Structures are given as C-alpha cells and as structure tokens.
C-alpha cells in the first residue's frame, strides 16, 4: 500500500492510519505493508510524473504489483492523476483510495486559507482552482457556477461528462461530512468535489468530528483552533475500516 500525503506535508501524518494507536489497529494490523511517497513542493503535474517514476523504481526494487494507492487531500489528486496521465499503466494499481480529496478543485477565495492550513506552495495551489488549466486537463472538462435559491447560493457544474479514470480502475472517495456545517463537507473539501459530482464511489463518514484533519487522526493545534475542528480517536479507525472493506469487497 503506497500512501501519498498532501503537498509539502510530511509522510508521517499517515503513521496513525498505518500503525494504529492506543491498541486500535491500523492498516498494518490488517496485513497491509505500508510505505509512503515522500514530501515534495512541486506543482501537481510535476508531482504526478515524479510519482510515476517512483512506481517504476518500486517495481525495479522487487516490490510486488499491482499495489494499492492511498492519497490524502491533494495526494489523492496525484494518485488519480497518475491514472489520467498514464492510463496504459493502470494495471499497476489495484485500488485507488482518496481521502478528503477535492477532485474538481477549490475556489480562488478559499486558496490563501488552504495554503496556510496545508502548508502548500502557491504554485501548487494555482493548479487547484476550479478554473485552472490543470483541472480542465485532469477531468477532461471545465465547469461554471450556477446560482440557485434567488442567487443566495451557487453550485459548480461541469460542462460535460468528466474523465474519471480507466475502465478497470477501482476507486474510492472517503468523505467527511459534518452535520453542523451543512452535512456536505469536512470543513475544507465539499462532498461533490470529492466524488466528482457522485461519479466516484463514496464512503461517507458522518458526525461532528468528521473533519478534514480528524479523518486521518492528524492533530494540529493551530488548525484545530482556527477552523473550530473537533478531535477524537473514533473517526480515523472508521477511515481504516472503510479502506479495508472496499479492498476486500473489490478484490484485485
């Protein structure tokens, strides 16, 4: 299982999911051998290409294939982006699991705050805008805002059917949904963006603690305080269970 963190984010943020904590099992206790893709600060397309080279190196070193990829937040764009950029290599990946991943991007007004929260360079975040050239390439289409409810709210709509992935790809989007924040987002990533408007199979984690950080068990006091996120040790085990269930129910 190859785990890919968000941009400029240390791979050890995955330690809890991999190793477990306080007697609660992580992925390794379910028999998965976990390794991580290192920390980088390049833009999205460059990192996808770097990820492709990393997979080639793993095969050369004798690691068994196909492998499972787990991408958290922007890391999920790298794992799905690999399938977009290299569809002929899709057989190398048995399962593509994305945790809190904004698959159709974020809005420009959110980007400075996201940069501070995720410690992401601006050049990477530029690719994340819903109107960016990267997102148009990534999904094979762009989109536009449609105002609803007397123009009090707006919804992002794709211009045409997106390219989700190769036909043989097994994909899962794990999505946090906080009832107190409308029940359709994890405090950072919207459900529609994570699932590409319902086109990617979803496992929803619903509850007051199911925020963007807590779904992997990561704790950052400044982010928790600034966003009002709640923390406990009940959500990340649900993330682990969702992964295990998906893999077992969809064997390679």
- pLDDT-based confidence at 221, cuts 50/70/90? low
Full residue range of the structural domain in which residue 11 is found: 2-249
Q: What is the pLDDT of residues 188-208, one digit of tens each?
A: 899 999 999 999 999 999 999
Note the pLDDT of residue 229: 73
Q: What is the largest CA-CA distance in the chain?
A: 59
Note the pLDDT of residue 82: 99
Count of the separate structural domains present in the chain: 1
Residue 80 in contact with residue 104, Cβ under 8 Å?
no
Residue 1 in contact with residue 32, Cβ under 8 Å?
yes
Q: What is the pLDDT of residues 59-108, one digit of tens each?
A: 999 999 999 999 999 999 999 999 999 999 999 999 999 999 999 998 74
Distance linking the first and last C-alpha atoms of the chain: 13
Mean pLDDT on 5-23: 86
List the Cα angle 42/48/49 in 5-degree steps.
95
CATH of the domain at 176: 3.40.50.1820
- The candidate with the shortest Cα–Cα distance to 88, out of 163, 161, 164, 167, is 167
Note the pLDDT of residue 129: 86
Strand partners, 206: 177
Percent of the chain with pLDDT over 70: 88
- The candidate with the shortest Cα–Cα distance to 241, out of 177, 196, 174, is 174
Structure tokens of 118? 């995720």
């Amino acid at each position: 299982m190859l785990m890919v963190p968000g941009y400029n984010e240390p791979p050890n943020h995955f330690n809890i999911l991999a190793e477990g904590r306080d007697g609660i099992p992580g992925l390794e206790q379910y028999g998965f051998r976990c390794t991580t893709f290192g920390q980088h600060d390049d833009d999205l397309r460059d990192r996808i290409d770097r990820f492709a080279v990393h997979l080639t190196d793993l095969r050369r070193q004798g690691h068994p294939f196909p492998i499972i990829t787990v991408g958290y937040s922007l890391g999920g764009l790298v794992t799905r982006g690999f399938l977009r950029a290299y569809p002929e290599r899709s057989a190398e990946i048995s399962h593509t699991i994305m945790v809190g991943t904004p698959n159709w991007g974020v809005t420009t007004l959110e980007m400075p705050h996201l940069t501070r929260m995720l410690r992401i360079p601006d050049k990477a975040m530029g690719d994340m805008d819903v109107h960016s050239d990267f997102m148009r390439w990534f999904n094979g289409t762009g989109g536009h805002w449609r105002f609803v409810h007397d123009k009090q709210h707006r919804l992002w709509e794709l211009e045409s059917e997106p390219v989700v992935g190769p036909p043989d790809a097994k994909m899962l989007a794990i999505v946090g949904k906080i009832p107190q924040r409308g029940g359709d987002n994890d405090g950072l990533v919207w459900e529609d963006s994570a699932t590409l408007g319902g086109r990617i199979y979803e496992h929803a984690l619903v509850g007051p603690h199911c925020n963007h950080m807590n779904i992997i068990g990561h704790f950052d006091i400044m982010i928790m305080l600034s966003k009002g996120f709640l923390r406990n040790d009940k959500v990340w085990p649900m993330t682990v269970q969702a992964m295990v269930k998906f893999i077992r129910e969809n064997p390679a």
